[in-house]
Structure 1
Amino acid sequence: MRDTPSGPGSRAVSRREALRYAAAASAVAGLGATAAGVAAPTASAAGATLIDFAMKQIPAEAIRAAGHAGVINYVSTSRPGSSFGAKPITLPYARSLHAAGLVIVSNFQYGKPGGTAPSDFTRGFAGGVADARTAWQLHTAAGGGQTAPVYFSVDDDIDRNTWNTVALPWFRGINSVIGVLRTGVYGGIDVCEWAIADGVIGRSSTPGKAWAWQTRSWSRGKIHPAAVLYQRIIDTASNPGPLVGGSRVDVNDVLAADVGQWNLHP
């Protein structure tokens, strides 16, 4: 939840584009204002939030109406036997989000524990290479920022040995394609700590922060001080997330002005 093409040449900016850029800048300013007040993030942070979801593309207007600043959207495809409307993010959908002044952050997750495809992190160095190529191709095809990170998911409760022998080689493979600076991690607090300590994820421009999107799961009620995002509400059958545009979503607290949003990383 690949290789970087060269950037576009200079050209005149239309009035419509100017308005879109102004809206995007406004969204970034909003994240910055929120993060400025976050000295010691907690699970009940009341600042800006981003939502993540897979079932369908939620209209930008509904996301704004619900009070969220943007989305974390997939740059991966659906697993065999499933068909998620929001996987992967598309260029028209991304444009609609930008036009509404919403920010976008990229996440890769194809496999899942117990799913029809194994967890991505189990696929080793070669799997990391393949996943990074897929993620970057989908990211750029949707208009993703050329220096923006992609968060790669460790959606499981793993121990240090599994990290060292299984997940770490996968991240090394990812790094070999898109570089450390454009690599982020999604996982529990230990996974975030290990990724930072082993130098396989990049740093945010917000001082003291890294590309760590931490989930409440497997985190023992703690938040890593370097995390830029915290998945506080997780939609499950037994504990449904809030409805936005008719779909249940996960809700993530923004813990830094720079969380890797596209428009801050052109």
Structure 2
Amino acid sequence: MQDSPDITDLRPSRPVSRRDALRYAAAASALAGFGSAAAGAGAPTASAAAPTLIDFAMRQVPAQDIRAAGHSGVINYVSTSRPGSSFGAKPITLPYARQLTAAGLVIVSNYQYGKPGGTAPSDFTRGQAGGVADARTAWTLHTAAGGGQSAPVFFSVDDDIDRETWNNLALPWFRGINSVIGVQRTGIYGGIRPCQWAAADGVIGRSRSPGYVWAWQTRSWSQGQIFPAAVLYQRIVSTASNPGPVVGGLEVDVNDVLAQDCGQWNMHP
């Protein structure tokens, strides 16, 4: 997630395999017409591979600028800023959500409060009780902004964790989340391995697109591989040394949409 100006650089990753590239092309064909932003008169195409959503934290990016850049919508926070920080896009507000919707843009919800080395610890380290608390906060903010009642919230594992950390910390956290909002409304953001583990352990829900689950995979810590069941892939992560594209005067992350149903509010009223 792009919620800090001092985010660390990505570790090197191998190129996406030919098999994944072919899958990308198939997804792009199947997703033709996703959203209405790319269909706007004179709007440039943001990505030849797939429709794209952007994520950002510093401030709200005007809907017209998102449309002008050719993106189909946003992944926005349903969490507040950590102590000592003040991010203008955390949490998403009802007026901003209405602005985006009126412009024909889609919205997907994400929760992240803490981060490695931040003023609050990574959310997944807080165990089952922490998952209960985080889910309650996320759902309150999601619904206050007009989020769909059956839409998922993607909860962040913004770190390179191993299986032991997953089993002992992250998995109980997700089980706490499930106890509040249910498995079907729970999604994950993370590298390829946590996405796979979450799906295998049954703590994230399923997309209406057959074969897909609520996994938003980042290219970080993914060794150039893409989880076949992921609905979203964070292809560009803006860092100090590798800035993302500028939209509305703000550097943003860019995410490819891999399934027609990627958890957008308008498909889950």
**Shorter-chain TM-score range:** 0.7 to 0.9
**Counterpart code for 2:103:** A
Take 2:232 and 2:183, find their aligned partners in 1: how far apart are those partners? 18
State the partner residue of 2:52: 49
**Counterpart code for 2:245:** P
Q: Is the 8 A contact 1:32 1:257 kept in 2?
A: no
Q: Is the 8 A contact 1:153 1:186 kept in 2?
A: yes
2:261 to 258, 263, 266: 258
Take 2:250 and 2:165, find their aligned partners in 1: how far apart are those partners? 34
Q: TM-score, normalised by structure 2?
A: 0.84
- State yes or no: 1:80 paired with 2:78: no
Q: Is the 8 A contact 1:201 1:210 kept in 2?
A: yes
Structure 1 residues 29 and 176: alpha-carbon distance in aligned structure 2, compared to 1, 3 A threshold: farther
Superposed, which structure 2 residues align to 1:145-184 within 5 Å? 145-184=148-187
State the partner residue of 1:105: 108
- State yes or no: 1:123 paired with 2:115: no
Secondary structure at the residue paired with 1:106?
strand
Alignment RMSD? 1.5
Structure 1 residues 109 and 230: alpha-carbon distance in aligned structure 2, compared to 1, 3 A threshold: same
Deviation string 1:66-87 (CA, Å, 9 cap, x unpaired) is 0000000000000000000000
Q: Is the 8 A contact 1:79 1:116 kept in 2?
A: yes
Q: TM-score, normalised by structure 1?
A: 0.85
State the partner residue of 2:21: none
Structure 1 residues 184 and 110: alpha-carbon distance in aligned structure 2, compared to 1, 3 A threshold: same
Structure 1 residues 260 and 236: alpha-carbon distance in aligned structure 2, compared to 1, 3 A threshold: same
Deviation at 1:31, TM superposition (A): 2.1
Would you say how many aligned residue pairs link Structure 1 and Structure 2? 230
Secondary structure at the residue paired with 1:98?
helix
2:208 to 179, 202, 205: 205
Among all aligned residue pairs of Structure 1 and Structure 2, give the percentage whose two residues are the same amino acid.
82
- State yes or no: 1:59 paired with 2:62: yes
**Counterpart code for 1:144:** G
User: Structure 2 stretches of 5 or more lacking a match?
Assistant: 2-30, 37-46
Secondary structure at the residue paired with 1:30?
coil
Deviation at 1:30, TM superposition (A): 2.5
Q: Is the 8 A contact 1:45 1:253 kept in 2?
A: no
- State yes or no: 1:245 paired with 2:245: no
Structure 1 residues 163 and 45: alpha-carbon distance in aligned structure 2, compared to 1, 3 A threshold: farther
User: Structure 1 stretches of 5 or more lacking a match?
Assistant: 2-27, 34-43
